[in-house]
Amino acid sequence: MCVLHNCYQTPSRLIVPGGGELVSKEGTTQGDPLGMAMFALLIIPLILKLSETCESLSQVWFADDASGAGSLQGLRQWWDALSTLGPSFGYYPKPSKTCLVIHPQNEEAAKAVFGEAGITITTERKTHFGSTLGSVSFKEEYVKHKVDEWRVEVEKLAEMAGSQPQATYAAFVHGTRNKWNYC
């Protein structure tokens, strides 16, 4: 914590072209390598409080992206708690960036429970952390699109291999192949 104290004990001076200056007194400086670690440590109390408040719900966080899974009522309770508690922890959920993916038979119930919340409700499709949520046809379409992109990449790598075999190998091992494993 000494490092954080040394980096953030005084406001950062942001120089504006033309001779102006802004003083940054809140949050981390953009690009600070410690920013993500600070956020991760500071968001844990919010996650724990939500776990206590909404015991019947499963939640998963990746950086500042929160996800919940459970009953419609449990999800609404979680959303309300997140919206209420979040700002006191520096987390501001945005309904416009929030999506509820549900089975088609639950669409009317979801609209009744979340109608005024301002979030998007869908029964069809959504990508989530590089994966797909939704119908089988959407998943197949998603994977087909990915395979088409990879085919183009492999063709480009094959062209490069004749003149730059080491660079091609490195690009394949550290890039292309990892995309396949991830998908």
| Residue numbers of the domain that contains 40 | 2-123
Nearest to 90 by CA among 54, 40, 55, 51: 40
Dump pLDDT digits (tens) for 38-91: 878 888 999 999 999 888 889 988 877 888 888 999 999 999 999 999 998 888
Residue 132 in domain: no
Whether residue 114 is found in the same domain as residue 150: no
Whether residue 32 is found in the same domain as residue 106: yes
Residue 131 in domain: no
Whether residue 48 is found in the same domain as residue 94: yes
Whether residue 141 is found in the same domain as residue 110: no
Residue 128 in domain: no
pTM score, two decimals? 0.66
Nearest to 114 by CA among 130, 133, 98, 135: 98
Is the predicted pLDDT of residue 1 greater than 60, yes or no? no
Compute the distance between CA of residue 96 and CA of residue 134 in angstroms, rounded to an integer: 20
